[in-house]
Amino acid sequence: MVSLFTSVLLSLCLFSSHILSNVNAKPKLGFTTDLIHRDSPKSPFYNPAETPSQRMRNAINRSFNRVSHFTDLSEMDASLNSPQTDITPCGGEYLMNLSLGTPPSPFMAVADTGSDLIWTQCKPCDDCYTQVDPLFDPKASSTYKNVSCPSSQCSALKGEAPCSTEDKTCSYGISYGDGSYTEGKVAVDTLTLGSTDNRPMQLKNIIIGCGHNNAVTFRNKSSGVVGLGGGAVSLIKQLGDSIDGKFSYCLVPENNQTSKINFGTNAVVSGPGTVSTPLVLKSRETFYYLTLKSISVGSKNMQTPNSDTKGNMVIDSGTTLTLLPVKYYFDIENAVASLINAEKSKDERIGSSLCYNATADLNIPVITMHFEGADVKLYPYNSFFKVTDDLVCLAFGMSFSRNGIYGNVAQKNFLVGYDTVSKTMSFKPTDCAKL
């Protein structure tokens, strides 16, 4: 990663009794997994000593830290004296529980739509961060196999996978802007997704990173990353034809509730209220790009400064706020403030520039995101987030890039579908808690 880190208590729904669990056989799969927000009491990141405002401030900081992950230097707004920001690796907001090897060794990992490689810490660990779960031991798995070099599996990691001169095995090394990194062996092994009906799914010969030298910023218990991006070694691409390139998720508004992520036949988004927009391909194939044409606040429609640029916004489940180019952000903020007849509040701990007393009658205006071919009408809880019982703030922020990031607050109570084959992204208003 860099920057979509949700306990995979899998509700596995197979629609044909003869479907096999072996991904290599290319069956058509449909299954659903729980996602646990990092601030949920079910998450290892949960700190009961933190106040709601502290959790929200941390989430906002993670949002801004992820901007540099999605931004090329060429995309930075040269007209702004932008500050240097570090990348927070695996700064995702959702976690999964899964198992690796034979017999299965359980571990918890960050689910990240902003990265590709699936990796975990492994024995022997030359230099690793502290985790609560036992380290994965490759020697204890009968299905573990180092990837040889050269090979198609090694080359799938492109420049991140050098060949070892000692044993001709494939190694990898990924570093992040804040000095964090993961280094180790590229391997294949069986990844097991558990299910509540005791029918675990085994995904055989999945390419993984076995990290022997790692330093990251997340607190203990999380053992690695499950990459859900668009690159060749992500879980989505490795499942490939078996899920027809489809996955979707539905994020509940309350972080202490369980969200859902769906794959394959379970991931189809259709029916009344569904709108779709093209996924735009760019050189950075990991990320999912959309084209935002304009934003409406009430009846005022404001065109994005780069509305003619295809793929001017990244959608990311691991970023909390929706981030916009600075000048455009202030246009949106001013339009929102002009329609709310209430006194502004300030909370320096949060860092959001438009906040109000939560007890006031705000009459929040309707904000509509006009993507190419798809108008997504936000609910009040998509536009504003509750910091404390007394304070709500606009769920938009500034990006020091020409492009934007569509964050997870705006996506809550929408069934969000990724179809990497037809290259479309779909949104359907949904009560996610009822799924």
What is the pLDDT at residue 219?
A: 53
Note if the bond before 150 is cis, omega within 30 degrees: yes
pLDDT digits (tens, 9 = 90+) for 217-229: 655 456 888 899 9
Contact 27, 19 (CB under 8 A): yes
363: left (phi over 0), alpha (psi -120 to 50) or beta: left
Active site residue 77: no
CA 278 from chain center: how many Å? 19
For the chain, the maximum distance between any two Cα atoms, rounded to a whole number of angstroms, is 69
pTM for the full predicted model: 0.83
Residue 150: how many CB atoms within 10 A of its CB? 12
Residue whose C-alpha is closest to residue 193's, from 264, 91, 127? 264
Catalytic hit among 34, 39, 112, 133: 112
Element (H, E) at 196: none
Residues in contact with 330: Cβ distance below 8 Å, sequence separation at least 6, in sequence order: none
DSSP string, 52-74: HHHHHHHHHHHHHHHHGGG--GG
| 112 tagged catalytic | yes
CA-to-CA distance for 386 and 345, rounded, in angstroms? 13
**Alpha-carbon distance values, 269 to 274, 276, 407, 418, 423 (Å):** 7, 9, 19, 9, 14
pLDDT for the residue 296: 98
CA distances from 369 to 5, 293, 394, 397, 399 (A): 26, 8, 15, 15, 17
Q: How far apart are CA 247 and CA 68, in angstroms?
A: 26
Q: Which of 39, 133, 316, 331 is catalytic?
A: 316
**Can you list the residues of the chain whose pLDDT is less than 70?**
1-27, 44, 52-53, 56, 58-92, 159-162, 164-165, 176-180, 194-199, 217-222, 347-352
Task: Report the pLDDT value the prediction gives residue 418, as an integer from 0 to 100.
Answer: 98
